[in-house]
Chains A and B, each alone.
Chain A
Amino acid sequence: AQKITQTQPGMFVQEKEAVTLDCTYDTSDPSYGLFWYKQPSSGEMIFLIYQGSYDQQNATEGRYSLNFQKARKSANLVISASQLGDSAMYFCAMREGYTNAGKSTFGDGTTLTVKP
């Protein structure tokens, strides 16, 4: 079974609007971390935001916020006030356990296109 599922292969958003990228995960480990990465057309992986399984509050980093619903096992990325430079592939990833810092499982990504 897929551990990370991103159900939206592609998304479009108008510039300056907000957009939500979906991510659901599957794990039986009570300790895990969820990450979102951005991959522009140039190919590099850029870390955006992190949410820990024990975190009481949703993570925020500038225009990025993570809508964490633990019972539903979802960790959706919300980008507010979209910019043209936000057009990229976005990946949700999970690390299970405290010691697995070198092991992450990635979803297949969502391609976001911001329209002017």
Chain B
Amino acid sequence: NAGVTQTPKFQVLKTGQSMTLQCAQDMNHEYMSWYRQDPGMGLRLIHYSVGAGITDQGEVPNGYNVSRSTTEDFPLRLLSAAPSQTSVYFCASSSTGSSRGWQETQYFGPGTRLLVL
């Protein structure tokens, strides 16, 4: 299993550009989430999904769109990049179907470092 994969690892954008951060998981997890981590801070939830076709907003959703057409993939779209979106973005997946049930942790991808100039 590759677990949770994210691409790209690093990206530089100019203000106003758009891009999509890719996230994929091969564990058949129903839950997937996007977080951002600003320097010296914890992770903040952007958007999450409880299954294919179902998404909802987190704490900091403005400027981002998501969709989930398959169980495996959960891309994050930046509509018009702003310097305030410079951050490290983490994708995570989890499942309540394991033996640990709802106690199961989220599994995190390696992160994407985004710099908006």
Contact = CB atoms under 8 A, between A and B. Distances in A.
Contacts of A91: 42-43
B95 A106 contact: no
A62 B32 CA distance: 28
A45 B32 CA distance: 15
A45 B90 contact: yes
B33 A102 contact: yes
Given A33-B103, A47-B106, A50-B103, 8 more contacts: A35-B105, A44-B108, A44-B111, A91-B42, A91-B43, A102-B50, A104-B33, A109-B41
A106 B42 contact: yes
A4 B42 contact: yes
Nearest to A33: B103
Contacts of B58: 103
Interface residues of B, number: 31
Interface of B: 30-33, 35, 40-45, 48-50, 58-59, 88, 90, 92, 94-96, 102-108, 110-111
Interface of A: 4, 33, 35, 43-45, 47, 50, 52, 91, 93, 98-99, 101-109
- Residue among A33, A101, A103, A109 with the highest chain B CB neighbour number at 10 A: A101
